Structure 1
Amino acid sequence: MANFTATQGRYLAFIHAYTALHGYPPAEADIAAAMCVSPPSVNQMVKTLEKKSLILRHPGQPRSLEVLVPEEEIPAWNNRKPVPTSRPRRKSPIRQASRPSAMPANLYVLSVVLAGGPVGEKHANKVVQRVIEIRGDQTLEQLHQAIFEAYDRWDEHLYEFQFGKRPFDPNGPNYGIDDRPKKKNQGDARTTKLDDLDLKPERAFGYWFDFGDDWYHQLQVDRIEQAIPTVTYPRVIKRVGHSPPQYSEE
């Protein structure tokens, strides 16, 4: 029989009940909210449960907590009987890959800084930045549209995302639309998803808009979280500075 304290049992009960209800395990933030404790407290408890072989987690994989205690020994959550689940217990990360499709999408939090363009004297030498959230299953075309709207533009032009060794590297992989002049390492922004790009936190890349006026933006992955199913993405969560007019005569 598993050996755990009453407090540890409540954590086990919540993880089990949450997994049975949603089809995937809770994040540590979910546990903190349910237990009314701080995230560091949850993290410490998770380490304790793992050390006692009461749970299993797979490093580098989000929402990978798995209760190892037999179901009949798990306490009831909030005085409710645990919800039975017919899903077999995962024995390895390979089994985890077959987790239900309800798994939340990755959420990329991107900082978008205006790096160059035909700004007038009024906007010269001023920081203009937008922070955008976009899901991993959304495309670079959707990211382009989010930046276009975030910078209050109204006249569409060609654009290109550049993923070379440095931002604005013309020789690295680049993504735009099909009617551009063909280039080496060119991909289609309309079909390329954020998850396809193997992005990591602090990864920087370039966005070039309007091949005549040449508006340059440097993007950086601030962090990668998990999308909230009820929120519509992409969305702007922070604005710094006023958008310069798209054309200098405006």
Structure 2
Amino acid sequence: MPRQIFQLKMSLAGVRPPVWRRVLVPGGYTLDRLHRVVQHAMGWRDCHLHSFEIDGVQYGVPDPDGELSLRDELDVRLDTVLGKGSRFRYTYDFGDWWEHDLMVEDAFTADPEERYPSCLDGERACPPEDVGGPSGYLLLLAALADPRHREHAAMREWAGGGFDPARFDPGRASTLLRHLC
């Protein structure tokens, strides 16, 4: 049976200008592998907890203390819970609360000449880890954009001199996906 590929669009909720990615992933991937795809495509470093919500059901890494009621993401293949047009949510870092809206834009048969997963497109850099969620990111962007802002120098140093919120390279994201997923 030929492999099914899902074309997913991931958008970071609550952030303007928009930060998004379009990726191709095998339908046979489990949710834990999709977690890694989101991490590498968006530019996160996988330093925090995460969960998926699909049709009202929460998936993630089971909590040994039982405080979070999550179904095990290792047991769930994409092609068993998703199809073309499906919408679902991925939350990363329960402190900063980064919500990602995901949509299956298309589903098709894998091209035997292509390697998956891959990143087709996207816009803007991912916010730095631990910036304080969408509101903290807005403050960072304001400080970086205005050299007269009282936090400009401190935020520039904290974010790293090379941080450019407008920069995104889908080719680099594809390379990371192929090596790390």
Tell me, in whole angstroms, the C-alpha distance in 1 between the residues paired with 2:8 and 2:123: 14
How big is the shift at 1:178? 1.5
Structure 2 residue corresponding to 1:175, chosen from 48, 59, 65: 59
Percent sequence identity is 32
Gaps of 5+ in 2: 132-157, 160-181
| 2:51 paired residue number | 160
Matching residue of 1:109: 7
Structure with greater strand share of residues:
2
Q: Are 2:34 and 1:143 aligned?
A: yes
SS at match of 1:132: strand
> 1:194 and 1:110 mapped to 2: Cα distance?
11
Whether contact under 8 Å (1:161, 1:205) holds in the other structure is yes
Q: Name the CA distance, whole Å, in 1 between partners of 2:20 and 2:53.
A: 18
Q: Deviations over 1:4-60 (max 9, x none)?
A: xxxxxxxxxxxxxxxxxxxxxxxxxxxxxxxxxxxxxxxxxxxxxxxxxxxxxxxxx
Which amino acid is 1:229 matched to?
Answer: P
Residue equivalent to 2:101: 218
Q: For residue 193 of structure 1, what is the aligned residue in structure 2?
A: 77
Q: CA separation in 1, counterparts of 2:72 and 2:16?
A: 33
Q: 1:202 — aligned with what?
A: 85
1-side partners of 2:129 and 2:42: how far apart? Answer: 9
* Runs of 4+ deviating beyond 6 Å: none
SS at structure 1 position matched to 2:74: coil
C-alpha RMSD over aligned residues:
1.7
For structure 1, list consecutive stretches of 5 or more residues without a partner in the other structure. 1-102, 117-123, 165-171
Aligned residues, how many? 131
Q: Counterpart amino acid of 2:80?
A: D
Shift in alpha-carbon separation, 1:233–1:191, aligned structure 2, 3 A: farther
Q: CA deviation at 1:233?
A: 2.1
TM-score of the superposed pair, with normalisation by structure 1: 0.49
1:39: which partner in 2?
Answer: none
Structure number with greater CO (CA < 8 Å, separation at least 6) is 2
Could you give the per-residue CA deviations for residues 140-166 of structure 1, whole angstroms, max 9, x where no partner exists?
Answer: 1111111111121224211111013xx
Larger radius of gyration: 1
**How many angstroms does 1:191 deviate by?**
2.4
Question: Is the contact between residue 176 and residue 187 of structure 1 (CA under 8 Å) also seen in structure 2?
Answer: yes
